[in-house]
Amino acid sequence: MNAVNIAPIVNAVNRMQGQVNDLTVQVGRVDANVGRVSHDVQTTRGELQALTAEFRQFVHNAQLTANVQRSETALGNAEAALDREYGHYKVVRRTSVGTLQAFDVGNVTNDTVQQISEELMIQTPRYWLAPALVALAAWSRDDRELADKSVQTAFTRDGAKTSLFFALVLRRQGRVDASARWLRYYLSALDPRALGREFAVVYEAAAHDAFGTHGYVVVGTQLSEWNGRLRTDPSVLGAQARIWVDELTTLRGAVDESMYPALVRHSPQWPQYKELLEYASALGFATEKYRRIKDTDTPLALSVQDQLDDLLEHLVTEYDEEELPYQREAAYHRAVIDNGGDTGRAHIDADSISAALEQTMDAVSLQTQIAVHPDAMGVSVGAQKLAIGVGQDDLRAAIGDFTTGYRRGFIDVVEIVLAQDHSQFAVAVGFPGWKTDTATTQERSEAGLGEVWHQSYAAYIESVRFKPGTAIGAAVLAGAVGLFCIAAFDLVGILLTLAVVAGAGWWVTKKKRAADAMVRQAESDRGQALQYSIDIYRTAVAEFVDARLAYQEADGNEQELLNLVDTWPTVVGQEKGH
């Protein structure tokens, strides 16, 4: 029998053994790499969470900036449109006061005044002030027929403003009786439930005694009669309280969330508590604002002429109804800019101001708007102070409504929630989440948190611990492969079986070492993970204590504001109770 040359088979077995060894080494490396990748994934996941939060903040800030930029553009467009549509009115307005001052000095001829006024009449055919200027020019040269005709034309275009204009002009010229007649006529023609915005000029004049003693009595008597009549209507009283509530709402501060980072992230009730803080802060800001107004000196003008010139300028520049839509649009975009792009707050502010830009309002509401929005109404601080005194009871009622409104949403307890991804440890071991609230004692909360972490790590360690079944499975598989090799290759099969068994043993050893390392790492991290979560919980509780103290301090400013209201001057120089 010829000898069988098994050298090629032995060489093949040796090569296979080498490949098995290489494969085993590679499997070990893969196990190590998997461990490193798992750690890297945990780290990356935490970094991604931080980056996501930063990106969201960046997007939010970018949106605010874009809102401001859009409003700056829109504001410029609105002002340009206003100038384009009604810019020619400015010439007439400047000319009206300039004409009166020229009459005082006597350095302009009647012919010049006549020529200019008639040109403006032609250039602004629908504007009430143009024929009023023609009337002034005719009056200066004793042309009664033209003066009467021009007054009638102006009166047809806007009777209220024309009456008030000539009441002021005649008072400026020292014709007190004629001025009083125009003033009485103006007042008698008014509907106290639908006063034009130009009535603010009358209020301003009364506040500074510009109409003289007789005029002051006429205006004061009429206002008292209107107030007494209108204030019997509950809807009117309710409207005043709402105006003041809107004013207080616009005075809210903005909470700096960087002072409460743990609450922001881990308390579902934080948005509600933040709103509570912001509403309560309005009381302090309102006290500061209205104390400054109360303490502002309101000196009398150097002369009655100067006062009346200012009133005339306001009358002819602030109260033309055609311009109100542009002014409302401009008010909104200014509010967006002033609020740093926060459109929610801007809408609240703009809505409050827009109420002062209505064409008509009742006498009580007009006085309240003077108190709240003097700039929009075109009046001075002196008129504002007088109007606040008139509306003392309205403001006091509004403070009650305002505080009741936000206190209704008061919460004394907030939840603290640690989500499944609140830390890298939590992500790594599959933390199921945990929550407590600020009413639960610290000892009980931390004990509960510790129990959740204990269960989480116990489950995780059990999942990564080396299982005997792993070795049994490898042995069974190696045995099956060995039997197949022995049956197929005889002696070579035995060698192959030994190689497979050796490789399986080596693989099981590496697997056990890797599992033991993960268990040791978990045992090492367990205390850190719990302490990290406890630190978050304690920080959130401490921040809530600070937030609650801040709320109590802000809410406690109510009495100081009420005291300021109660001592407000109801008559110039006289405070209530003095």
Per residue, what are the HEC states of 114-177?
Answer: HHHHHHHHHHCCCCCHHHHHHHHHHHHCCCHHHHHHHHHHHHHHCHHHHHHHHHHHHHHCCCHH
Q: Which one has a higher pLDDT value, 319 or 237?
A: 237
Backbone angles phi, psi at 195, to 5 degrees: -80, 145
Q: Binning pLDDT at 50, 70 and 90, where does residue 524 land?
A: confident
Residue type, 162: T
Across 149-163, 205-219, 555-569, which has the greatest mean pLDDT?
555-569
DSSP label at residue 465: S
Residue 424 structure tokens = 């890298």
At 416, which helix (H) or strand (E)? strand 415-418
% of the chain beyond a pLDDT of 70 = 70
Q: Which residue has the higher pLDDT, 539 or 311?
A: 539
Higher pLDDT, residue 157 or 497: 157
The tens digit of pLDDT for each residue in 291-322 reads 999 999 876 655 667 777 777 777 776 655 66
pLDDT at 214: 80
Using DSSP's 3-state secondary structure scheme, residue 415 falls into strand
- The answer to whether 203 and 367 are in contact (CB under 8 A) is yes
Q: Residue 471: which of 499, 518, 506 has the closest Cα?
A: 506
Mean local confidence (pLDDT), 32-44: 51
Which of 101-105, 152-156, 393-397, 497-501 holds the top average pLDDT?
Answer: 393-397
pLDDT reported for residue 573? 38
Say how far apart CA 251 and CA 286 lie, in whole Å: 7
| Element of type H or E holding 436 | strand 434-437
Cα–Cα distance measured from residue 504 to residue 507, given in angstroms and rounded to the nearest whole number: 5
Q: What do you get for the CA distance between the two ends of the chain, in Å?
A: 139
Q: At what angle do helices 234-250 and 363-372 cross, to 10 degrees?
A: 10
**Span of 319-323, 399-403, 498-502 with lowest mean pLDDT:** 498-502
Residue type, 354: S
Tokens of 238: 């309710």
Structural domain boundaries in the chain: 190-411, 415-555
The pLDDT tens digits for 458-469 are 887 777 665 554
Q: Is 435 helix (H, G, I), strand (E, B) or coil?
A: strand
Contact 113, 140 (CB under 8 A): yes
Q: Report whether pLDDT(69) > 50.
A: yes
Token pair in block for residue 64: 């605010």
